[in-house]
Amino acid sequence: MTIIVVVDQGACIQCGLCYLDNCPDVFKEGSDGTSEIAERYRTDSASQGEVPSDLTDCAKNAADACPATAISVLDLS
């Protein structure tokens, strides 16, 4: 199973819900408060990564809770 997570950093309003509350294993706070993908899961940039299947629910919960709908979770399996 391949799970791709993308943060639309232009839409992120730096609320911190994803990296502080819902899924700190996948997301981290960038220097200006914008959400980033944790380094270990990044594929190319700070805004996109591939996460293991056991973090799917965590990433999806963060996407559902994001007030800016800035997180996309794509299941490519």
CA 11 to centroid of chain Cα atoms = 13
3 state DSSP class of 29: strand
Minimum CB separation of residue 48 from ligand SF4 in Å reads 13
CA 39 to centroid of chain Cα atoms = 11
* 35 touches ligand SF4 by CB under 6 A: yes
Stretch touching ligand SF4 by CB under 6 A, among 6-14, 44-52, 53-61: 6-14
* 5 touches ligand SF4 by CB under 6 A: no
Among 13, 43, 54, 57, contact with ligand SF4 (rule: CB under 6 A): 13
Number of residues that bind ligand SF4 (CB under 6 A): 14
Angle at 71 between CA 27 and CA 20, to 5 degrees: 35
